[in-house]
Each structure stands twice: as C-alpha cells, then as structure tokens.
Structure 1
Amino acid sequence: MNLKNTFLILFIIFLANCAFAQHHTPLPHGMVFGTKPSVTGGMPADKIETFMGKRTRTTTVIIGKILNVAKSAGGWFDMDAGNGKVIAAHFKDANVNLPKDIKGREVIIEGVAQKDFIADDLQHMAGDTVRGKQQHHNKTDPKRRLTFEVKGLMVNR
C-alpha cells in the first residue's frame, strides 16, 4: 500500500470516529437549555398537582423524567407526572432545540404550570352574568394533562 492510500484510510477512519462521537455522546449532567433553572426548592413532578391545589397557574421548579420529545424545535416534550399522568411541556422561547437523546433523563425545569380547563357550557371565554353572578364556571378535569411553559431546563441525571 502506498502512502496516499494509507493517508486516505486514516482520514476516513478519523471522520467516521468524529461523526460517531457527535451522535452518540450522552448529554452531560448540568447541561442547560433556555435559562438555568433554580436548583433549590424544586419538587418532584408527581407533587405539582397537589401543590397547585385550587390554583389554575403557578410558577415553580419541578424535577421529573422526560417520557419523550414530541418536537425538538421549540422544545416540546412530555414529562412523567406519576400515577399515569403526563405534563405536556414546551419552552417559552421557541428558539430552543431539545435533542431527542434527552428521553428517559431526569431534568429540573422552571416555568409556569397550568391546569387544562373545560367550561360548563363549552364556551371557554363566555362572560355572561345574571344578577351580578357569573354563570360560567371552569372545572378541571382530573383526566386531562397539566401544561408547563418552560423557561429553563437542566439535565439532572
């Protein structure tokens, strides 16, 4: 084998190693997407509904496992909320790209949790009032998902 062929083979092996390393490198602990979330006072994702009580929205930090990345662009993902429930999350900043490799990892997310609603009369924004009392009441459906608008995410484990 001449020197050119040897050089060419070594170069191809080098490129293959570089390509392999880029696609199979695990996400390191502490990697941040968006803004860095607060690492103090976070609660497990399965406790968020109890923490919210009757509130419809709350700003909080939760720790949980990512079930899947629905859409990388904009950072759309589902998080395990325990007892078969799911938190549908997405980044407030649509420029965040979340890698699919994050599936199955434990993360810390900070942002706004919100319960989904169903209106009595199927008119979500109805404002009719009778005798000063509002006739439109929102009810939460326990089978529906929570949504979470993420400001920041950090890989925990």
Structure 2
Amino acid sequence: MFTSVIKRTLITVSFSCLFTLNVNAQKKTALPHGMVFGAKPGSVGLMQASKLESFMGRRTRTSAVINGRVIKVTKPKGGWFELDADSGRVIKAHFKNYNVTLPTALKGREVIIEGVAAKQFIADDQQHMAGDTVKGKKQHETNTDPKRRIVFEVTGLMVNK
C-alpha cells in the first residue's frame, strides 16, 4: 500500500516536471524563423536597412523590401516598431493594416519587411499633407532629425533570425 502511494506521487511529479520543461521550451522559441505578420514579404530586391536611404536618393517615397534588426516594439497593437539602420539612424515602422499585433519578444530579432518607405519633411507653412508643390521643394530641403528620417509603412514582416 505504502509503495503504491510513493509510485503514484513519483509518476505525478515526473509528469509535472516534463510538462513544465515543455512549456518553458515553447516560451523560448515563441518566434520561430519564418513566422509571418501581415502578408508574406517577397525577396526580390532585398537590401539591408542601412542602404535604404541611399537607395531612395532624391525620391520622397519608394516601395522596398529590407532586412534589419528590430530595436524595440513601441506599440504592439497596430505593429509599431523601430528598425536599426546603422550609424545611430533609426527607421520608424508601422503596419498599414492596424489589425496586426506584434509581440514584444520581437526586440533584437532580425526581420525582413516589405512596404513603402517615405522620407519625413517639415512643412514650414503648416501644410503637412500638401505634397510636392512649388513650396514643397523648400519643405524637402529642410533638415529633419538625422536619426529619424525615414518612416516605413509595412505590408508584411517575416522573422528571419
């Protein structure tokens, strides 16, 4: 009688330990390679995030597929995050579709994102949405913060590493 009670408790303890180890292992690999948020990004024209600004040249907006490391997830709902562009520069990114929720565990992971990159500009006459008009040329020449020059509207993100 006494040995059967000991056997049952040992079996119960061993199963609970195995379950706990399995749950902990799942938490560490919560974002596996290839996990996709939004639409799956393409790989045609893939470039490093540090080369995006030079790729854009004088254009204010362009479609691109870039590869970079996530600095931090600023707002999980809506998919707002910051991407490292080297030399202290940061690309602020957010999803076009607000229904995307990013996990905060994405911090420090390498991702591939696809979408539209746009340069920020300062409107000196409070016409932020005016676009490229005659006055718009002056707006694009004004200097913005060099660490926060590019905003990226993401349509798809894939965890790379």
Shorter-chain TM-score: which interval? 0.7 to 0.9
Where does 1:60-139 land on structure 2 (aligned, <5 Å)?
Answer: 60-125=64-129, 134-135=134-135, 137-139=138-140
Counterpart Cα distance in 2 of 1:90 and 1:135: 28
Shift of 1:116: 1.2
Counterpart Cα distance in 2 of 1:19 and 1:61: 35
- Specify the SS of the correspondent of 1:108: strand
The 3 A distance-change label for structure 1 pair 156 and 13 is same
Where does 1:18-33 land on structure 2 (aligned, <5 Å)?
Answer: 18-25=22-29, 27-33=31-37
Counterpart Cα distance in 1 of 2:127 and 2:78: 29
Q: Which deviates the most, 30-39 or 139-148?
A: 139-148
Counterpart Cα distance in 2 of 1:126 and 1:100: 35
1:16-38 CA-partner distances (Å, limit 9, x unpaired): 22331232115332222211111
Shift of 1:46: 1.0
Counterpart Cα distance in 2 of 1:11 and 1:59: 52
- Specify the SS of the correspondent of 1:138: helix
1:12-63 CA-partner distances (Å, limit 9, x unpaired): 3233223312321153322222111111211111111111122111111111
Q: Give 2:53's aligned amino acid.
A: E
Higher strand share: 1
Which of 139, 145, 148 is 2:152 aligned to? 148
The 3 A distance-change label for structure 1 pair 124 and 74 is closer
% identical equivalent positions? 53
Q: Which runs of 5+ in 1 are unaligned?
A: 128-132
Q: Which runs of 5+ in 2 are unaligned?
A: none
How many residue pairs end up in the alignment?
152
1:77-107 CA-partner distances (Å, limit 9, x unpaired): 1101122110011112222222222222221
Q: Give 1:138's aligned amino acid.
A: Q
Shift of 1:9: 1.9
Shift of 1:4: 4.1
Shift of 1:11: 3.8
Cα RMSD (Å): 2.4
The 3 A distance-change label for structure 1 pair 155 and 125 is closer
- Specify the SS of the correspondent of 2:59: coil
Structure 2 length normalisation: TM-score?
Answer: 0.80
Counterpart Cα distance in 1 of 2:155 and 2:111: 13
